[in-house]
Amino acid sequence: MNEKEFLAAYNKGSFEAPLVTVDAVLFTYQDGQLKVLLVERSNHPEKGKWALPGGFISENEDKTLEDTVTRKLKEKTGVVPPYVEQLGTFGGACRDKRGWSVTICYTALIAHQACESKLETISDVAWLPIEKVKKMHLAFDHLKIINKAHERLIQKALYSIIPAYALPRKFTLPELQQVHEVIIGKPLQKKSFRRRIEQAELLADTGEKRTERGRPATLYSLRAGSGKYTFVRNLEQ
């Protein structure tokens, strides 16, 4: 079938288009764990199972795919996460029993504190530790998607300071190192970590300190405009 034939069938409605959704793997750091935001499905198929937050494109409200994902995340968390990046698109004939489906997935990071109030008002949404999630049986192929998002996040933790977006605006270097360690799953050398971060010149010293047992730690924030230049070495993506 060529393009002309396809479009003729499509316009007649005699062609079944794939179901298109936009989903997000939203990470945060809470209680020393890396957590993922999941939603309990209230509709068939896969009713009752945990799934990634997401939904259908709204041709009225959305101009871009990013509009869709941020709209959906705002519905669940009340805020737009500071970091959102496309992860990949998963599609196929068998991933949804209704037939061919395609989901465009995003990875996002947020400080859990930023959306605490909203989350308390919704019962079917929860932060779940990624280690626990990996043993669960999620809806569709969402576990595969989460695994891919985690793999990518590990790479980012090794070569960038993007994990900082999982923390509140002000944070200490030891805190940031903990986030990296939890993401990667193994301890990092303090000196090497700090060197890497400092060389990147992507953090701004707020001048403030935080004290709680031991020497006070300097509070840093992500430098303005570091959105696209968050990489420590001259790698990209």
14 binds, among a copy of itself, DNA, none (CB under 5 to 8 A by kind): none
CA distance linking residue 104 with residue 153, whole number of Å: 17
Q: Which is nearer to DNA, 132 or 210 (CB)?
A: 210
102 binds, among a copy of itself, DNA, none (CB under 5 to 8 A by kind): a copy of itself
Q: If binding is defined by CB under 8 A, does position 18 make contact with a copy of itself?
A: yes
Among 57, 115, 166, 197, binds a copy of itself (CB under 8 A): 57
Least CB distance to DNA at residue 31 (A): 16
CA distance linking residue 91 with residue 88, whole number of Å: 10
Least CB distance to DNA at residue 75 (A): 36
Omega of the bond prior to 45 within 30 degrees of 0, cis?
yes
Q: If binding is defined by CB under 8 A, does position 8 make contact with a copy of itself?
A: no
CA distance linking residue 148 with residue 125, whole number of Å: 21
Q: If binding is defined by CB under 8 A, does position 185 make contact with a copy of itself?
A: no
Q: If binding is defined by CB under 8 A, does position 192 make contact with a copy of itself?
A: no
Q: 152 phi and psi, to 5 degrees?
A: -65, -40
CA distance linking residue 200 with residue 185, whole number of Å: 23
Q: If binding is defined by CB under 8 A, does position 86 make contact with a copy of itself?
A: yes
Q: Which is nearer to DNA, 97 or 190 (CB)?
A: 190
Listed ranges 133-141, 149-157, 181-189, 198-206: which one lies at the site for a copy of itself (CB under 8 A): 149-157
Six-digit token pair at 100? 């061919």
Burial class (CB in 10 A: 0-12, 13-18, 19+), 228: exposed
Pairing mode, if any, of strands 83-92 and 19-30?
unpaired
